[in-house]
Chain A
Amino acid sequence: MTSSRSATIFALALLAPALIYILTIVAYPLVDTIILSFTNASLKAGYDFVGWANYQRIFGVGNFTEVIVRTFIWTFFSVTTKMVIGMAGAVLLNAAIPGQAVFRILTMPPWIVPMAIGIYMWSWMYNGQFGMISGLLQNFGLVGGPVAWLAYGHTAFWATIVTDVWIGVPMVTIYFLAAMQSIPKDLYEAAWTDGAGRFYRFRRITVPLMVPAIITMSLLSLIATFNSFDIIWILTQGGPSGSTTTMIIDTYKTAIGSRKYGEGAARAVVICIFVSLFCLAYFRAVRKLQQGEAK
């Protein structure tokens, strides 16, 4: 039934709307980006091909390599923190104590509210004069005066990471929690009967069995974080003086801000190359994990 020619035609017909949609809205723009990256396109109608000039400019003049390094550092700290807090959250929410169900629901809001709205709230909290963080720290006497978190390069860098972690944590926590719950209970019971303590059981049962979930989530989170735009754009627009300018922000500024479509496209292509590498790593990891499972 499923191998006949009419079946194939039917299968392709079912697939056609999705395929056409994605080809038009994602694949075509992707190709267009690559083409544009070799042109001097701008707001003016029409453009000329300029060869590798855009790439030579972005790597030759200015601080593009600095932006790349910054993006990687930003992403690294954000992803690792998400994983650590997410794991801690999953362990806490997995404990059989009263209130568990309510605590799990209370974890979700940052994930389901419009991202931008959560970020507006953070941007008020970071306010140096009147915001909550600076205010509470002053009330408790931990800092001498107001700290305007978003006004200085190094604090703004970490502040944007904290907000990114905040948005990512619920999803990671709930995912890890589900993975934790799928570990067979009898493993714990057997270990417990043998006298293994809680921490030993966590280290020897929970962690090893969660490795696939951790790898999968880290890579997915890596890709999402690398592409993070809203948080930095709303909080700092890449400033102060470029200290939070990641590759996405840099591309947006060049392309949409300064209307240099060609040069912006070249920057976007560099992002696409990195994302493709992450993608490959992800697919490879998933395949390896599957093979491991089959064994």
Chain B
Amino acid sequence: MSFHDSKVTLPAGANPLAASASSVAELSKAKAKAKARPSKAMIDRYHWYEVAALYAGIAVFLFFVLAPFIEGFLVSLKPLAQLFSTPYSFIPKTWSFDAYINMWTSVPALGMHIFNSFFISSVVTLIVVAIVVPAAYSFARFNFGGQALLLGMFLAVNMFSGAVLLIPLFRLMRSLGLLNTYFAMIVPGAAFLIPSSIWLLRTYMMRIPRELDEAAWVDGASRLYTLRRVILPLAMPGIVVVAIMTFIGAYAQQFIFALTFNSKTEFMPLPVGLFAFFGKQEVIWNELMAASFVGILPVMIVIIFLQRYLVAGLTAGAVKQ
């Protein structure tokens, strides 16, 4: 794929990012094919033992991926006394939903932590999108000296983790007066998500035909107007992918900044807020697991519905041709 291939036409409403990579799209295509042809292609036919081996392999693979969640869920249903008893039993002997009730009193701010996680990730997403859209457009459409160098610099930022820069970041947050505020987590969080988002959106915008900009220019539209009225609507699917990827990034990785730059309980996001369960003499594991599940459930459900955008974002973002 070439970036300078601006001749690629973009059908209205099409989403090349999603379409090229989405497993769902692949699947529906496959389904359509299957409908058109009565039998499955010969090449995709398996012997019964091959099918059995595939399912066995998938079972092992998914067990590795999901075991902590299954175990965590079962733990949340076991009374604490049973949890701390031997011999070990995978399935709860007695089922109890007490953990889901008691956790709200054990960690009074739990609701706040769940909200904070969501709130911080949302603000990070807004900041990143607002900054990334113009920057990606600039990289996608204009040529100026030092552009390649700047792009390389942005990409290099990707490679440094916040953990390495913690000391100066701490000093910076302190001198900006942001320590122990939401912004202590939002500001650095957004910084490390900007570069990959620029890259992703730039790739997407390069596929929008240049002729469209030029036509608008000829018609006397200003540059800003062109960006707002021509490019933005066409780039919307790409912007949605960037927003979702950013939200996931902000949501899944909030820990170290929250741990180091904030000590106020009311601002803590879920992962750090859950530390409260460790503070007692004995870790209240069943409530910790219950709180984890309740805390992540809303976001999980939304993400399952958006999963094809994730696949699209991951492939376009990581390939970096």
Contacts and interface: CB of A to CB of B under 8 A. Distances in A.
Contact of B69 (A121, A268, A283, A293): A121
Given A95-B54, A229-B163, 16 more contacts: A12-B138, A15-B150, A17-B135, A22-B194, A26-B192, A27-B157, A85-B61, A108-B303, A117-B274, A130-B83, A136-B88, A138-B88, A188-B43, A217-B318, A229-B161, A279-B156
A125 B164 contact: no
Contacts of A148: none
Interface in A122-146: 122, 124-125, 129-132, 134-136, 138-139
Given A33-B167, A134-B88, A174-B314, A279 B58 contact: no
Contacts of A293: 321
Interface string A77-117: 00000000100110011011101110111111111111111
Interface of A: 1-3, 7-8, 10-12, 14-15, 17-19, 21-22, 24-30, 32-33, 36, 85, 88-89, 92-93, 95-97, 99-101, 103-118, 120-122, 124-125, 129-132, 134-136, 138-139, 166, 169-171, 174-175, 177-179, 181-182, 188-189, 192, 198, 213, 216-217, 220, 223, 227, 229-230, 248, 251-252, 255-256, 261, 264-265, 268, 271-272, 275-276, 278-279, 282-283, 286, 289-290, 293
A61 to B, nearest CB: 20
Q: For chain A, what secondary structure do more than half of its interface residues adopt (helix, strand, loop), or is it mixed?
A: helix
Nearest to A265: B167
A21 B165 contact: no
A26 B54 CA distance: 46
Contact of A2 (B83, B143, B153): B143
Interface string B158-172: 011101111111111
Interface stretch (B7-15, B100-108, B233-241, B288-296): B288-296
A28 B142 contact: no
B5 interface: no
Contact of A25 (B42, B139, B188, B303): B188
Select the residue from B44, B68, B138, B318 with max chain A CB neighbours within 10 A: B68
B24 A101 contact: yes
B73 to A, nearest CB: 9
Contacts of A192: 42-43
A13 to B, nearest CB: 8
A89 B136 CA distance: 33
B134 interface: yes
Given A15-B135, A121-B71, A124-B72, A132 B117 contact: no
B252 A112 contact: yes
Interface in B145-193: 150, 152-157, 159-161, 163-172, 187-188, 190-192
Interface in B74-102: 75, 83-90
Contacts of B65: 106-107, 109-110, 166, 169-170
B191 A252 contact: no
A117 B254 CA distance: 11
A15 B150 CA distance: 10
